Amino acid sequence: MTQSAAELRRTLGVTDAVVIGLGSMIGAGIFAALGPAARAAGSGLLLGLAVAALVAYCNATSSARLAALYPASGGTYVYGRERLGPFWGYLAGWSFVVGKTASCAAMALTVGAYVWPGQAHAVAVAAVVALTAVNYGGIQKSAWLTRVIVAVVLAVLASVVVVCLGSGASEAGRLDVGASGGAGGVLQAAGLLFFAFAGYARIATLGEEVRDPARTIPRAIPLALGITLVVYAAVAVAVLSVLGADALGRAGAPLVEAVRAAGVPGLAPVVRVGAAVAALGSLLALILGVSRTTLAMARDGHLPRALSAVHPRFQVPHRAEAAVGAVVTVLAATVDVRGAIGFSSFGVLAYYAVANASAWTLSSASGSGSGWSAGSGSGSGSSAGSTSDADSGSDSGSGSGSVARVVPAVGLLGCGVLAFALPAVSVVVGAGVLGVGAVAYGVRKLRAR
């Protein structure tokens, strides 16, 4: 086996996978997305959170079943390729890499804005270089650092919840769930809040580095999503009870404003530090996910094959990680992409739409992981093993198969609705980027012929 075709080392257990999922989700999104969501939905913010959580649950369930069957680097890129065909896998991978690369730069700039506002770009570049170096040293180092980051962020968020709910400024009347922003506002808020939930895909994307993936991934994804939902709901309720929907929508730093309104301004610097640490955690996990999807696409020739190399000592896709780090460094140094939440959400929703469509082809019996041998995720060789158990149940007319298709159907519909409920600029730009990717795929196929 050549170095470029080598597989990654399986070192992550359930706890490590859950922590990486938490580090991906409980990040800067909760510090940044509440304000725009409140502006869109008004008093319907909590309804928007519930809709986002429902779609995220469907996506997570579909991803977990597929990841157990195809435990390879690349996530939905692999699932779409194996279940729907090469083009759909490519489109999923393209939307993920492009959207999440912009998100990487946004998270890096968020770190800079909180740590040293006057030198935000310089701090952002330093953060990208440092975290790329951590990832280069091996997945276990990344998992260890993510544990520290998650612990710090959870402590900060817990202090915000306790301070807000325990203050005299907290009023239950501000939690009115009437949708003052209308149904469209609630759906737009859900699409924006989905940005904060989307990190559970990182567990599936790292499928080639998970021990016993058929058992570990289906456990880790719902655990990480459930913990995140509880944390987000508690923070949203606490902040809303102090600020109300209108003030929350106007707040540039919602959690900072909430602790000040609660009468504890001394906690504001701690919240700022927590936001910076959370952004670091998001950036760390994003670089991991984008580099693994880049690895999978390079193995199939959609990106330069040199990027498929695996380091012989650290067993990481070192060239893919270096390339992703270099691109994000350039973006963080030159472009302000902090308004990229909507664009990123559109790309991620397109990515999960492919995941749900892929899961639709599975029967209830085919998600057990028996249809594909662990570790066979490189290139085209994986397709042969995926046709045994998986395809044998995809046309099943049994009742259990019909029930198994409800979740991906709801997830697919939800992804489509939320994607097109986003701000018009995000929809136009996102659709344009997907179109560019599709044209590039077509040109490559014509040249290959």
pLDDT band at 191 (very low <50, low <70, confident <90, very high): confident
Tell me what the mean pLDDT of segment 268-278 comes to. 90
Longest distance between any two alpha carbons in the chain, whole Å: 71
What domains sit in the chain, N to C, each tagged with a CATH number?
14-364+405-448 (1.20.1740.10)
The pLDDT of residue 205 is above 60: yes
Using alpha carbons, select from 32, 71, 90 the residue that is nearest to residue 302. Answer: 90
pLDDT band at 380 (very low <50, low <70, confident <90, very high): very low
**Do you know the residue count of the chain?**
449
pLDDT above 70 covers what percent of the chain?
Answer: 85
Using alpha carbons, select from 449, 325, 447, 440 the residue that is nearest to residue 87. Answer: 440
pLDDT tens-digit readout, 21-30:
887 788 767 8
Residue 340's pLDDT is 64
Residue 235's pLDDT is 93
Tell me what the mean pLDDT of segment 239-267 comes to. 89
Q: Which residues contact 197 (CB under 8 A, 6 or more apart)?
A: 25, 29, 52, 53, 56, 225, 228, 229, 232
What are the backbone dihedrals phi and psi of residue 312, each rounded to the nearest 5 degrees, phi first? -65, -25
Between 73 and 60, residue with greater pLDDT: 60
- Least confident stretch, 1-10, 74-83, 406-415: 1-10
- The predicted model scores a pTM of 0.77
Between 205 and 63, residue with greater pLDDT: 63
